[in-house]
Chains A and B, each alone.
Chain A
Amino acid sequence: AQSVTQLDSQVPVFEEAPVELRCNYSSSVSVYLFWYVQYPNQGLQLLLKYLSGSTLVESINGFEAEFNKSQTSFHLRKPSVHISDTAEYFCAVTAGTSYGKLTFGQGTILTVHP
C-alpha cells in the first residue's frame, strides 16, 4: 500500500514570492507521482506528473516538481507566484498496477496575497 503526506495544510505567501509545497510518500514498490490542483469552485485538474526519465518535471504555468527517490519526496515549487495560483494542491501516487488508482495527500491550500 502507498501513503502520501503533505506536510503543510496551509501556505500563505505574497505575490511574486517563491513557494514550495512539500510532499512525501511511502511505498514498498515503485510509484508514479502526480500533482493535482483545485481552483476555487472548480474541479481537480492535473498540474504535472513524474513517470520516468528526468526527475525534474514542469507544468505550463511555471510550477516544477522534483522526484527524489532517496528522500521519497516530490515537492512542488514555483519561483514567483501570482494571485491566480491561489488554490488547493494535492500530491498523489499510484503504484501503476493494472490501473491508476490514486492515493492522495491531505492537500495544501496555497493563498497568494497581493
Chain B
Amino acid sequence: GAGVSQSPSNKVTEKGKDVELRCDPISGHTALYWYRQSLGQGLEFLIYFQGNSAPDKSGLPSDRFSAERTGGSVSTLTIQRTQQEDSAVYLCATQTSGAFLNEQFFGPGTRLTVL
C-alpha cells in the first residue's frame, strides 16, 4: 500500500500479558517514530529509528517497553507484562531520510486496551 500500515488495529489483553504491535512503513522511508496517544497525556514520543543507527529510546516509559526494526523496514513495539496504564493508541510515523523537517506520515494506530 501507499501509506503506513499498523496491525492489529485493536488489541484487548489482560493485565500481565505481553503484546506486540507492528508497523509497516512507506517504502523508502528510513526514519520511523513510535508515539503514544492516551487520555490525559496527549501524544507522546516513544522511540525513533533511522536506518542502521542506534535508536533513540528516550521516550520509552519503562523497561517493559522495547522496539526493534528489522532490515530497516518493519518495526515492532513490544510491551511486556502489560498494565492498565498502558491502554492507549500507539501510532507509528515514517519520514524520508535526510528531511527531518518534512512531514511525518502517520499510520492509523493500534488501540490497546488492557483489562
B-contacting residues of A (Cβ < 8 Å)? 32, 36, 42-46, 49, 51, 90, 92, 94, 96, 98-107
Contacts and interface: CB of A to CB of B under 8 A. Distances in A.
11 contacts: A32-B101, A36-B106, A42-B108, A44-B91, A100-B101, A102-B43, A102-B45, A102-B104, A103-B45, A107-B42, A107-B43
A88 to B, nearest CB: 10
B63 interface: no
B106 to A, nearest CB: 4
**Would you list the 6 A-B pairs with minimal beta carbon distance, nearest first?**
A100-B100, A104-B43, A44-B106, A106-B42, A46-B103, A43-B106
A59 B107 CA distance: 21
B92 to A, nearest CB: 10
Interface in B11-59: 31, 33, 35, 42-45, 48, 50, 56, 59
Interface SS of B by simple majority: strand
A63 B10 CA distance: 32
A99 B31 contact: yes
Nearest to B103: A46
A70 B81 CA distance: 46
| Interface range for B | 20 to 34
Contacts of A43: 3-4, 91, 106-109
Q: Is the interface of A mostly helix, strand, loop or mixed?
A: loop
B25 to A, nearest CB: 13
Contacts of A49: 101, 103
Contacts of A96: 100-101
Contacts of A104: 35, 42-44
A104 B42 CA distance: 7
B95 interface: yes
A100 B56 CA distance: 12
Given A43-B107, A44-B106, A106-B42, A101 B48 contact: yes
